[in-house]
């Protein structure tokens, strides 16, 4: 069964236009002009039960608007929408009983009362029996290590503590779909990792479908088997993360430091016959090679012919790939082509995956 089924979903907003100057303000007083803004432009996708799907895109690409339509907060302008067997905005009260939602930038806990009191209130709101609630809460508290936070008022929690409590709050009623809108925003790396581990476990053990938006691609890499990428209200990529990387990363870079100065000509001679590009730098040289060539083949010829002190292999990371796609505004093949041209092989100064051989 499909957890989420979206077809030609569209959302338009009217945004008031403020005219300039005093005369503009006077005109506005009597007749407002509206701009129609289409935030989500006829998107379609399906998510089967039990999948963890990442939903990414630039700020203002329409991610949050989509999530808000999927959770029944916003009413779509047109298109079909079915989540968990319900049309979210129509049967809102019944529908939201089966989903959990965490918005990283908003709290769903009541500010003035203790965490446990918030949970108790949610228990009543979602009509969970005291027995189920206890079992579920104990389990979640243990997994997220909340023990001593429960009696504190929400306003006295740190962001990391609060976010863990938010997760518990969204899961108390055992929802089958969990929506996360930037759940790791502003968190330190320890909490981020904890939350990722928890979500993975949740998905594995309870089969909870998870849809998550994030700007932190490490979230995606750690969790998602599938990515939907949005740009300007349209889906520009929908598929596996590995595939995305393979399709758009252009290769890897190998940096060499030589014991004795080695000329460019010599290096090029060594790798003649391989489709690699060399660039010289003060410390040494770097070789850029596309995915079609084996690293061992390329390394072999260089190692055999030069006095090498150090080797580093840098892989294009997801951040770079996605940044490029955002910049070009499309993940189509032509964009990939311009990407190839645009990016010189020597810009990955801070590539994250590096292997040092000595």
Partner 1 sequence: MMSAYVDFIRIRFLTMLAYRVNYYSGIIIYAINIGAYYFLWKAIFGSAETLQGFTLAQMTTYIAVSWMARAFYFNNLDREIANDIRDGSIAMQLIRPYSYLLVKMMQGLGEGLFRLILFMGPGLVIVCLLFPVKLPKDPAVWIVYFIMLLFSLFINSQLNILTGLAAFFVENNEGMMRMKRVLVDLFSGVLIPIAFFPGWLKGTMEWLPFQAITYLPSAVFTGRTPMSEAWGVLGIQALWFVILLVPIMFTWRAARKRLFVQGG
In the complex, the residues that contact partner 1 under the rule CB under 8 A are 13-14, 16, 64-65, 68, 71-75, 89, 92-94, 96-97, 99, 101, 103, 105-108, 110, 112-113, 117, 120-121, 124-127, 181
Question: Nearest distance from residue 16's CB to partner 1, in Å?
Answer: 6
The H or E element spanning position 3 is strand 2-17
Question: Nearest distance from residue 251's CB to partner 1, in Å?
Answer: 36
Cross-strand pairs, 153:
114
Question: Nearest distance from residue 25's CB to partner 1, in Å?
Answer: 13
Closer residue to partner 1 (CB): 210 or 285: 210
For 41, counting Cβ atoms within 10 Å of its Cβ (0-12 exposed, 13-18 middle, 19+ buried), the class is: middle
Question: Nearest distance from residue 89's CB to partner 1, in Å?
Answer: 7
User: Mind giving me the DSSP string for 230-296?
Assistant: EETTEEEEEEEHHHHHHHH---EEEEEEESS---HHHHHHHTTTS--EEEE-SSEEEEEE-TTS-HH
The length of the chain is 358
Closer residue to partner 1 (CB): 37 or 340: 37
81 neighbors 88 (Cβ within 8 angstroms): yes
Closer residue to partner 1 (CB): 166 or 253: 166
Question: Nearest distance from residue 304's CB to partner 1, in Å?
Answer: 56
Q: What strand order describes the sheet that includes 33-48?
A: 33-48, 2-17, 78-83
Question: Nearest distance from residue 66's CB to partner 1, in Å?
Answer: 12
How far apart are the C-alpha atoms of 300 and 123, rounded to whole Å? 64
How far apart are the C-alpha atoms of 43 and 62, rounded to whole Å? 10
Name the token pair of 99: 């989903």
357 neighbors 263 (Cβ within 8 angstroms): no
**Nearest CA-CA partner of 294 in 280, 312, 275, 278:** 275
Question: Nearest distance from residue 95's CB to partner 1, in Å?
Answer: 8
148 neighbors 156 (Cβ within 8 angstroms): no
For 258, counting Cβ atoms within 10 Å of its Cβ (0-12 exposed, 13-18 middle, 19+ buried), the class is: middle
Closer residue to partner 1 (CB): 60 or 329: 60
Question: Nearest distance from residue 3's CB to partner 1, in Å?
Answer: 17
Closer residue to partner 1 (CB): 32 or 204: 32
Closer residue to partner 1 (CB): 126 or 258: 126
Closer residue to partner 1 (CB): 75 or 357: 75
Closer residue to partner 1 (CB): 113 or 293: 113
Q: How many CA atoms lie within 13 A of 38 on its CB side?
A: 12
**Nearest CA-CA partner of 251 in 317, 190, 349:** 317
């Amino acid at each position: 069964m499909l957890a989420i089924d979206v077809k030609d979903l569209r959302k338009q907003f009217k945004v008031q236009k403020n005219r300039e100057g005093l005369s503009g303000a006077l005109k506005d007083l009597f007749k407002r002009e509206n701009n129609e803004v289409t935030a989500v432009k006829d998107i379609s996708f399906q998510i089967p039960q039990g999948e963890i799907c990442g939903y990414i895109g630039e700020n203002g690409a329409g991610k949050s608007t989509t999530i808000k339509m999927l959770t029944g907060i916003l009413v779509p302008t047109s298109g079909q929408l079915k989540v968990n067997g319900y049309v979210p905005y129509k049967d809102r009260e019944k529908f939201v009983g089966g989903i959990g939602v965490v918005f990283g930038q908003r709290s769903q806990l009541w500010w003035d009362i203790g965490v446990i009191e918030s949970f108790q209130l949610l228990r009543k709101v979602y009509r969970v029996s005291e027995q189920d609630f206890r079992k579920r809460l104990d389990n979640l508290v243990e997994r997220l290590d909340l023990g001593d936070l429960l009696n504190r008022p929400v306003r006295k929690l740190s962001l990391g503590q609060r976010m863990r409590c938010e997760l518990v709050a969204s899961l108390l009623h055992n929802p089958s779909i969990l929506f996360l809108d930037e759940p790791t925003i502003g968190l330190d790396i320890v909490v981020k990792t904890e939350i990722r581990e928890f979500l993975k476990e949740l998905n594995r053990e309870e089969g909870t479908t998870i849809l998550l938006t994030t700007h932190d691609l490490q979230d995606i890499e750690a969790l998602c088997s599938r990515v939907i990428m949005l740009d300007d209200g349209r889906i520009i990529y929908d598929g596996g993360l590995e595939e995305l990387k393979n399709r758009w990363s252009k290769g890897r870079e190998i940096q060499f430091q030589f014991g004795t100065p080695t000329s460019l000509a010599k290096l090029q001679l060594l790798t003649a016959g391989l489709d690699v590009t060399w660039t010289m730098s003060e410390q040494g040289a770097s070789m850029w090679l596309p995915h079609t060539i084996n690293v061992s083949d390329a390394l072999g010829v260089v190692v055999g012919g030069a006095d090498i002190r150090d080797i580093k292999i840098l892989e294009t990371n997801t951040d770079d790939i996605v940044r490029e796609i955002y910049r070009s505004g499309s993940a189509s093949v032509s964009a990939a082509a311009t990407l190839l041209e645009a990016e010189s092989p020597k810009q990955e100064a801070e590539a994250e995956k590096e292997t040092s051989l000595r």
